[in-house]
DNA sequence: TTGATATCATTTGCATACGAATGAATTTGC
DNA sequence: GCAAATTCATTCGTATGCAAATGATATCAA
């Protein structure tokens, strides 16, 4: 810390300016930490699947067969990311791929019976994960938080 | 969709159970999307630094020289992650490394003059990024959101 | 109809993120 | 004072996440 910095602080204190920047108060930093905590809770309950992999299976279970690109849109992943996720699910036999009959650009993705079994088994655990993630909040706070978070996302 | 599934749905509808699982309502999924949006806003304002890199510089600016490990704790990164971040900042001349004189395990990290210049220039932009991230909320909502988010993180 | 655009998927490169294993150095406990 | 436990840093492997470039196909528009 140089003498100039100390002088600057004095001057700004006199002017009543807030010069401090506290990383730990910034929404981006706290958002990153909250996300990290959620991922850790997820991993503690569902060890053999990542949140993005689970999201892909859950969405396919919800809407049925769709193109890789469309699936990516629905679960908020760009094309490069969704490809990797689907590749790994395919390698594990949880999804299967086929070509779109009419539009030859599209790659259709669907659950295999094993994938359907897996997601049906995991959804109850996912509800627990959501509960545990929100556990520091009261029910009312959790509702408020989800409403505001959705406005941000 | 098999006949058994349809039967299951009828039974559950009669019992008033909620069987649907909507990914887009789960806190983890929305948290991931909110984080993605923040990172995009960050990149639009600060193109030459990532949020983790910025976090490292901002924390060093705040507390001065510290060990790589301690820095990681303060900015919520594990040892493997912080090493990569610091390596890249070092390669760009924004931080410098030195050995701890007494405890030979520790690697001290500090801002270079260029790093100090950079973070002083960037902090005002970071304030803008925070504002833009919270822009969908009113001031009161933003305060509530930050309070609840901090409880979760 | 055909030339310009747009869409879908892939690949490459870079940057987190974290578990697990390893080795060096320090601290603790007895 | 010494063995056990802990801490610090590094490395490896795997998995997102995204920008940019590319190629194939489809759609639009003059």
Domain span at A108: 23-152
Is residue A126 one of the residues assigned to a domain?
A: yes
Angle among Cα B32, A41, A63 to the nearest 5 degrees reads: 50
Counted residue by residue, chain A has a size of 153
Q: In this structure, what is the dihedral angle of CA atoms A53, A55, A58, A62, given to the nearest 10 degrees?
A: -140
A-chain residues within 8 Å CB-CB of B51?
A: 28-29, 32
What are the pLDDT digits (tens) for A49-80?
Answer: 999 999 999 999 999 999 999 999 999 999 99
Higher pLDDT pick, B16 / B153: B153
Tokens standing for B60?
């060093």
Asked whether residue B142 carries a pLDDT value surpassing 60, the answer given is yes
Is residue B94 one of the residues assigned to a domain?
A: yes
Domain count, chain A: 1
Is residue B14 one of the residues assigned to a domain?
A: no
Q: Mean pLDDT throughout B34-49?
A: 97
Give residue A20's pLDDT.
86
Distance CA A8, CA A3 (A): 9
pLDDT tier, B11 (very low <50, low <70, confident <90, very high otherwise): low
Give residue B3's pLDDT.
47
Tokens standing for A10?
């004095």
Give residue B100's pLDDT.
96
Burial of A72 (0-12, 13-18, 19+ CB in 10 A): buried
Give the chain B residue whose CA is nearest to the CA of A28: B38
The CATH number that applies at residue A50 is: 1.10.10.10
Q: What are phi and psi of B98, to 5 degrees?
A: -150, 160
Helix B51-63 crosses helix B79-91 at what angle (to 10 degrees)? Answer: 90
Higher pLDDT pick, B14 / B57: B57
B-chain residues within 8 Å CB-CB of A152?
A: 34, 37, 133-134, 136-137, 145
Give residue A19's pLDDT.
67
The phi-psi region of residue B93 (left if phi > 0; otherwise alpha if psi is between -120 and 50; otherwise beta) is: left
How far is the first Cα of chain B from the last one, in angstroms, to the nearest whole number? 40
Asked whether residue B16 carries a pLDDT value surpassing 80, the answer given is no
Strand pairing category for B95-99 and A66-67? unpaired
Distance A80 CA to C8 C1' (A): 11
């Amino acid at each position: 810390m140089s003498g100039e910095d100390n002088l600057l602080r004095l001057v700004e204190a006199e002017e009543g300016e807030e010069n401090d920047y506290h990383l730990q108060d910034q929404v981006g930093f706290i958002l990153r930490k909250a996300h990290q905590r959620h991922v850790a809770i997820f991993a503690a309950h569902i060890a053999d699947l990542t949140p993005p992999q689970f999201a892909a299976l859950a969405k396919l279970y919800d809407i049925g067969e769709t193109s890789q690109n469309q699936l990516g849109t629905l679960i908020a992943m760009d094309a490069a990311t969704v490809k990797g996720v689907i590749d790994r699910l395919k390698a594990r036999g949880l999804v299967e791929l086929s070509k779109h009959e009419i539009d030859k650009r599209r790659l259709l993705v669907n659950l295999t019976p094993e994938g359907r079994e897996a997601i049906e088994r995991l959804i109850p655990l996912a509800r627990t994960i959501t509960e545990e993630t929100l556990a520091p909040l009261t029910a009312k706070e959790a509702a408020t938080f989800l409403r505001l978070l959705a406005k941000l996302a």
